[in-house]
Amino acid sequence: MLKVWGRANSSNVIKVMWCIGELGLPYERVDWGGRFGGNDEPHYSSMNPMKRVPTPEELDGFTLWESQAIVRYLSAKHSAGGLFPDDLRVRAEADKWMDWSSLYLGSFNFAFRMHLFVLPEAERKPEVVKEASDKVEPLFESSTSIWLTSSIYAGTSSL
Ligand SMILES: N[C@@H](CCC(=O)N[C@@H](CS)C(=O)NCC(=O)O)C(=O)O
């Protein structure tokens, strides 16, 4: 069974678990990282030298780090032609949005998460949320209009 090292409240673990759910794979998830610690343990850092979560571990000992590489690997392995499209252009469309969301929205996600949910209320800074909102809103406006007018949204592709 696929074992996934990573705490359930990590956005990057969630990304991988969502993929595993879509693929319908049996799995075991181990609470790791964050308040659970363990990233510095030698057996873990030998699997993930970046000392981050998630890390999936297959039965034969194969491991991988970097959540988007993991999503691509699992999709290609278990859903070639499905979640991992055969058509290079369709696959590139999926890659494009996955990379865009991570590169452009990732840093804002951190600000929102910390200052809306994670930090104790007294330490949350509304100005950080406001600054992130001001920067992220135009991105959503342009991405929504691209998405709404794309053939993928209109349902003419295999995605
Ligand atoms: N680019 C990496 C980022 C991994 C990462 O930074 N994970 C965070 C959780 S979202 C982490 O490990 N934080 C330290 C910890 O949880 O102990 C990926 O996508 O896998």
Write out pLDDT tens, residues 125-152.
999 999 999 998 888 777 776 766 666 5
Q: What are phi and psi of 135, to 5 degrees?
A: -80, -35
- Are both 108 and 67 inside the same structural domain? no
- Are both 61 and 92 inside the same structural domain? no
* Cross-strand bridge partners of residue 3: 28, 57
- Are both 117 and 71 inside the same structural domain? no
The total number of structural domains in the chain stands at 2
Pocket test for ligand 1, best of 5, 16, 35, 53 (most atoms within 8 A of CB): 53
Q: Is the dihedral of CA 4, 5, 9, 14 positive or negative?
A: negative
Residue after which a domain boundary falls, among 21, 56, 78: 78
* 55 close to ligand 1 (CB < 6 Angstrom): no
- Are both 43 and 93 inside the same structural domain? no
Using CA atoms, how far apart are residues 50 and 44, in angstroms rounded to an integer?
Answer: 10
- Predicted structure pTM score: 0.84
Mean pLDDT of 100-104: 87
* Cross-strand bridge partners of residue 55: 5
Which residue range forms the structural domain that includes residue 126? 88-154
Strand ranges (E), the chain: 2-5, 27-30, 55-57
Residue corresponding to tokens 């949320």: 129
Q: Are 132 and 112 in contact (CB under 8 A)?
A: yes
